[in-house]
Amino acid sequence: MTKTETIKFSKIILNWYDFNARKLPWRIEPKNSKKGILINPYHTLVSEFMLQQTSVKTVIPYFKNFIQKWPSIEKLSNASEDEVLSEWAGLGYYSRARNLIKCSIILREKFNNTLPSNLHYLQNLPGVGPYTAAAIRSIAFNQPAVVIDGNVERVISRLFCIEKPVKSSKKLIYCLTDQVTCKKRPGDFAQALMDIGATICNSKKPKCNICPLLKHCKAYKNNLTLSIPHKEKKKKKPTRYGYAFFCIFKKKYLILEKRPENGLLGGMMSLPTSDWKERKEIVNIPKIFTNYHEIKGDISHSFSHFNLKLKVLIIKKNQLPKNMKIQKITELDLKSFPKIFQKIINHALNSDYLNNLKN
């Protein structure tokens, strides 16, 4: 694109955004951003962490609760990890929460509870990669940066009719996005491209008839909209198997453990489980969890890299195993557990066997 074409393109995108921007709790309206009003950078930081591999719809209530509980970098930096992980429960990818806490501590100690706009400083923060750093710089500080998420990759691929898979076109997509990015309103421009990708230029049923970029879209002109971006065949996810132990202590309490920091669901409170292996054979059940009753049915859950099937064993204990904690069954807050354990607890509590024990 020539400079004139780029300016014209920017105007089309921003004019559309001025009237069609999604109203999200971590944003400010275009009418305010045009006046030079900036959003609280901390809000951008939290939202970008939450939005990593998670949908906007899922994030909204979590973001509202999180900001209400920890309204500033300083407040978050003084929070305990257990407290933050509990609030994050159900959102998944818990390393994000731990990295966010680490970020807040660094920002408190090195940046006086403020967020830098410099890309180098941003990318040195825990859990902040090139995309997140660019999004913060652009959206929070309205400074030029190339912001590319999955939605932008799709829009740019179709706009310029890039027929190769996204994985092998990253550099080209970056150059083309850089070429068209508006330097005067970079934050609004980045969010506009995201919104077009999320609401119009979606992957399966693009609404080309209402797209502001229709006249410029080379994929549309070549009748290739549905085949771009080219999709590579996804590898079938393996299935892992194991046991979850619903251990009742002295008839009133549920035995819980904290998962290892570096593993899956790291640092979260959960039920004890066996290892999760890609085999159906009987796994070795620890001696402390013998004399069990197996509940009918499996609990299925899907993680990013594998599917999981667990059998649930109910066990009655009068001695508390080492390094484990207890919580009254009647006072359980399911929302404080990861989703897989929410399923397991519900499955056990609603089982005929447990209901017969109560009677």
Which residues does the annotation mark as catalytic?
48
Tell how far CA 8 is from the center of its chain. 34
Pair of tokens at residue 347:
């499955």
User: Crossing angle of helices 95-111/81-88, nearest 10°?
Assistant: 130
Half-sphere exposure at residue 270, Cβ-oriented, CA atoms within 13 angstroms: 25
CA distance 161 to 119: 30
Exposed/middle/buried for 251, CB within 10 Å: 0-12, 13-18, 19+?
exposed
- Assess contact for 200 and 158: CB atoms under 8 A: no
- Assess contact for 73 and 107: CB atoms under 8 A: yes
User: Crossing angle of helices 170-180/150-159, nearest 10°?
Assistant: 80
- Assess contact for 201 and 152: CB atoms under 8 A: no
